Chain A
Amino acid sequence: MRILVIEDDADTADYLVKGLTESGYVVDHAADGREGLYLALGQGYDAMVVDRMLPGLDGLSIVQALRGQDKRTPVLILSALGQVDDRVKGLRAGGDDYLTKPYAFSELLARLEAILRRGSAEAAEPRLKVGDLEMDLLARSVKRAGKPIDLQPREFKLLEYLMRHAGQVVTRTMLLEGVWDYHFDPQTNVIDVHVSRLRQKIDRGFDRPLLHTVRGAGYTLKADQARAEQPRADRA
């Protein structure tokens, strides 16, 4: 997987390039907007991490120019501007996700993986399947090993989000944004309570747990514990 990082701050860029390389990505770095756009248009990248404020050409313009050329490379926008309006602007410009500085590297990694797989996950399939856990989006029903599981509407949405990102690390902030549409940090970690309730419903009574906690990062839903990846952030 080739990632292009467009970031002008040398320390941040260094930190990103190191972290992503250690996580197994091939990383190119551009220090200003023009060079970044040049690279992005010329080479085939699987995803891009673009700082919003750049010398030469700002991040949003790069994304717009890229989309104008009909390049659909997934883009994660990094920004110090964290208000809801700024996010909306970033996503409208064609960004796939928006991360506010400062962020934990694990958060960035989780979001990057999410947008990398978005193309296949977003397909309008009526059914989602992780191991023996099945979700019927039309009937709004969930079964594990053929046994129906009764979920509250919000639990259903939470599980749907986790299933769409199966195998990836999903952070608490991603859940708050994706499931509750809350773009702020509640003072208490309320998400944990919801996840542990969901875990009780889908994992209790089965010997193989599907929903795992990734320490220091978030959660992941995956079928096979043996194949489970170590959270990359911990290695970094």
Chain B
Amino acid sequence: MSDSGGKDPGVKDPGGKDPGVKDPGVKDPGVSDPGEAGRPAPARATRRVGPFRSSTFRLALFSMAPFGVLVVILFGFLYIGTVELIDAQANATIEAEVRGLSEQYNGRGLGRLIQVIQERSGVNGEKGSVYLLTGPDLTPLAGNLRSWPADAVQKGDWLSFTVQHRTGDVVTTQQIRARPFRLAGGFRLLVGRDMAERQEFQVVIAKTLAWALGITILLGIAVAIYLSRKLLRRVEAVAATSRTIVFGDLARRMPIDGSGDEFDHLSASLNDMLDQIEQLMTGMRAVADSLAHDLRSPLTRLKGRIEVALRRGGDASEYRKTLGATIADTDAILSTFNALLAIAQAEAGAARGGMLPLELGRIARDAAELYEPLAEEKGIRFEQSVADGIAIVGHPQLLAQSVANLLDNAIKYTPAGGAIALTLDESGPNAELRVADSGPGIAPQDRERVLERFVRLDVSRTTPGSGLGLALVAAVAKLHRARLTLEDNGPGLKVTLSFEKAPAGSLPVDAAA
């Protein structure tokens, strides 16, 4: 025992200390192996539920228990009722016989009585009947009992006792229920009946009850095992699928067997959740990819500039100039980064959480109020006609940024003396937000293209800008499921965002005012 102590994983003592395996035991992988192999086993056991530990099994057993109780009650009633009936019948028969016999005695005397008793207890008599007529001193006169029963138990008017017969070697015991009767002249009469029938019935009932109970229990366990196996298999299928998903296979889906039961429903909702997660993951990956792609080139340019400056050398003022330019570059990269992040956020739908009912006019007016002085300073007429109380569900910051970008563009490309107009009105079920300018406009073939990231048309090369303004507007439009159209304003550009209106009642009170 001390020898195997180190190897036995069940022994609590960390076996290596055992003198029997002292030296090699601690480090020998062969010894520590069974312990380690034994360790993951309980972990796996907690993971997988056996049919007997499942809640279905317990539930099934639990639901079978009332049937067991019902069986016992049913047989109990049957037993008691039948035994009473049998007893009552026996009693009635015996009493009738006692009455008949005592009439015989009273009418025709002792001789006749003895004759009748001998007839009835003879070979032709009724089987199972017991008769005994004794004198006042209990000496038997007639009947098929040898003597007055000594071991009789008296219960009311009734006696019960056992009689043993010997037929050859076989001894049979009879349970007798009898009625003693005192006749005139001191004679005593005992009429009884073998209760074997009742006993047999008792045995039959007990056996049936045992069988019924046994079958009920076995059936219960069988049904419970079957049910829990069946349910466990489906739970296990879901668990196995989620395990593969945990290990990285996001494309896997929960099994649906088409039965439309609660498991199918559960699997379907889990699958919906997984679809959403996968979509978000894909979105995030796309964001990361495009960020990497879009930032790599300006960062490379920045690095190039620094390297050139280092290689060329020069005095402090040259370096200072390069550093100043570098800061300007990093600022540009940062603003590009922020714009890209906002676009990515809108495109990935991650901003959907920040959407709420809002008054679109308020956002338009705020942006107009911010940009109007800029237009005025540039000598551009700024017209605005913004309808009140138009509600949409939207992301306030992203919408504000979009309107700001549109106004910014309009002011940037409209020459002095021109005009820009900001309009918000209703058109059927839609809210239409328009920014129109009298600038050079965009040729029809370029209108799709300018919505992409970093696309700057040749005409605008000389104006500052990242080429992300309209891309953000497009992404925000997509986030809001709004239609974005670029049209000719003759001359100039007209950009229309067509949102689906939200019911005006959805606005918070202060915003609707």
Contact = CB atoms under 8 A, between A and B. Distances in A.
Interface residues of A, number: 18
B382 to A, nearest CB: 12
Given A187-B466, A188-B412, A180 B334 contact: no
Interface stretch (A14-22, A81-89, A91-99): A81-89
B465 A186 contact: no
Contacts of A187: 335, 405, 408, 464-466, 469
Interface string A55-90: 000000000000000000000000000111100000
A184 interface: yes
Nearest to B335: A185
Contacts of A197: 373
A180 B408 contact: no
A193 B373 contact: yes
A194 B373 contact: yes
Contact of A180 (B338, B341, B370, B469): B370
Contacts of B338: 82, 184-185
A187 B404 CA distance: 9
Given A182-B400, A185-B335, A193 B374 contact: yes
B405 A84 contact: no
A186 B345 CA distance: 17
A193 B376 CA distance: 10
Contacts of B370: 180, 182, 186, 190, 194
Interface string A183-217: 11111101001100100000000000000000000
Interface string A143-183: 00000000000100000000000000000000000001011
A102 interface: yes
A197 B466 CA distance: 28
B55 interface: no
B160 interface: no
Contacts of A180: 366, 370
B374 A184 contact: no
A184 B466 CA distance: 15
B139 interface: no
Contacts of B469: 187
B414 to A, nearest CB: 13
A84 B351 CA distance: 10
A85 B334 CA distance: 20
B354 A85 contact: yes
B511 to A, nearest CB: 13
Contact of A184 (B369, B401, B411, B412): B401
Contacts of B342: 184
A84 B341 CA distance: 12
A82 B374 contact: no
A11 to B, nearest CB: 16
A193 B377 CA distance: 8
Interface string B324-356: 000000000011001001100100000001100
B466 A85 contact: no
Nearest to B350: A83
B397 interface: yes
12 contacts: A82-B341, A85-B353, A180-B370, A182-B404, A183-B397, A184-B400, A184-B404, A186-B404, A187-B466, A187-B469, A188-B412, A190-B371
Interface of B: 334-335, 338, 341-342, 345, 353-354, 366, 369-371, 373-374, 377, 397, 400-401, 404-405, 408, 411-412, 464-466, 469
Given A187-B405, A188-B374, 13 more contacts: A85-B353, A102-B334, A182-B370, A182-B397, A182-B404, A184-B342, A184-B400, A184-B401, A186-B404, A188-B412, A190-B373, A190-B374, A193-B373
